[in-house]
Chains A and B, each alone.
Chain A
Amino acid sequence: GAVVSQHPSWVICKSGTSVKIECRSLDFQATTMFWYRQFPKQSLMLMATSNEGSKATYEQGVEKDKFLINHASLTLSTLTVTSAHPEDSSFYICSARDSWTGSSYEQYFGPGTRLTVT
C-alpha cells in the first residue's frame, strides 16, 4: 500500500513552453501533498505544500506564478512549470501524506519526473 505515482517519468520540452506534472496517490487519500526539486547528486528542496481544495503554500524563494500547483482532488496534485527555461531542468519529486493516519507525519514519495528544457 501507500503508493504514489508521477506522470510523466521524464519529459523534454522547448524553452518557453509549459509542462504539467501529475502526482497521484494510488491507494490512499491525501489532503496534503508536497513538491520537491532535486538537482543531480544534491539534496532535496521543498518547493511547496499542496492542500486539497485550497491554495498551495510556497516556500520562500519559489515563484508561485512560475510553478502552478493544483490539488483538485484527494488523490491528485499537479505541478505546472510555466514558460520553462533551461534552468528549470531538474528532477521533480512529489510526496503525499495519508489523510487517514491522523497525526502521522509520514510521507510517501513518488518516483520523480525528470524535466529537461532545451
Chain B
Amino acid sequence: GQQVMQIPQYQHVQEGEDFTTYCNSSTTLSNIQWYKQRPGGHPVFLIQLVKSGEVKKQKRLTFQFGEAKKNSSLHITATQTTDVGTYFCAGRGSGGYQKVTFGTGTKLQVIP
C-alpha cells in the first residue's frame, strides 16, 4: 500500500536558522497537503499542492511539489519560536479514488 515518509523525524534549530522537512511517497500522488500541529493543539491546514513542480510561498514558508508528484518539501526561512510544532504532509494517491495517507510528521523545536 501507499506509504508516506517524512524526514527528519525531529529537528532542533536555533532561532533564525532555516528548516526543511521532506515528504516522500511510495506512489504517485494526485495532491499533497501540509498541516501544522502545535503541542497540545489541533492540526492547522497550511496548503495544498496539486500541480507537478508547483511551488507556493506563504511568508517565510515555501512549499514544493516534486516533478514526479512523489515528493514534497516545506522550507521555513529564519525560524521563529512561533514555528514550533509538528509538521505533517498528507498525500492522496492518483488514479481513481485513492486513500489519503499522512506522513509520520516532523517535530520542530526552535531554540531561542
Contact = CB atoms under 8 A, between A and B. Distances in A.
Contacts, number: 37
A57 B103 CA distance: 21
A87 interface: no
B97 A44 contact: no
13 contacts: A43-B102, A43-B103, A44-B90, A46-B99, A46-B100, A61-B99, A93-B42, A95-B45, A105-B45, A107-B45, A108-B45, A110-B42, A112-B42
A43 B104 contact: yes
B43 interface: yes
Interface residues of A, number: 18
Interface residues of B, number: 16
B27 interface: no
A57 B100 CA distance: 12
Per DSSP, chain B at the interface is strand
Interface of B: 33, 35, 42-45, 48, 88, 90, 97, 99-100, 102-105
Interface string A94-117: 010000000001111111100000
Contact of A106 (B45, B99, B100, B104): B45
B38 to A, nearest CB: 11
A46 B104 CA distance: 13
A95 B37 CA distance: 13
Given A57-B97, A105-B33, A46 B102 contact: yes
B25 to A, nearest CB: 14
Contacts of B90: 44, 46
B22 to A, nearest CB: 15
Contacts of B42: 93, 109-112
